[in-house]
Chain A
Amino acid sequence: MVDTATPRVRVPRDATAGEIIEIKTLISHDMESGQRRNGDGDLIPRSIINRFTCDFNGQNVIDVAMEPAISTNPFFEFMAIVPESGTFVFTWYDDDGDVYTDSKDITVT
Chain B
Amino acid sequence: AALLPVASSAQEAVDAIIAEFTGGAEMGAEGLTLTTPEIAENGNTVPVEVDAPGAASILVLASGNPTPKVATFTFGPMAGAQFASTRIRLAGTQDVVAIAKMQDGSFVRASREVKVTIGGCGG
Contacts and interface: CB of A to CB of B under 8 A. Distances in A.
Interface of A: 20-21, 33, 35-37, 55-57, 59-72, 74-82
Interface of B: 44-46, 62, 65-81, 83-90, 120-123
- Give the most central of A21, A56, A64, A81: most B CB within 10 Å: A64
B69 to A, nearest CB: 5
Contacts of B121: 33, 35-36
Given A57-B78, A63-B74, A71-B88, 4 more contacts: A33-B121, A55-B76, A62-B79, A80-B78
A79 B81 CA distance: 6
B80 A69 contact: no
Chain A binding surface SS class: strand
Contacts of B70: 67, 69-70
Contacts of A55: 76, 78
Contact of B74 (A37, A62, A71): A62
A62 B84 contact: yes
A82 B79 CA distance: 9
A48 to B, nearest CB: 11
A67 B69 contact: yes
A75 B76 contact: no
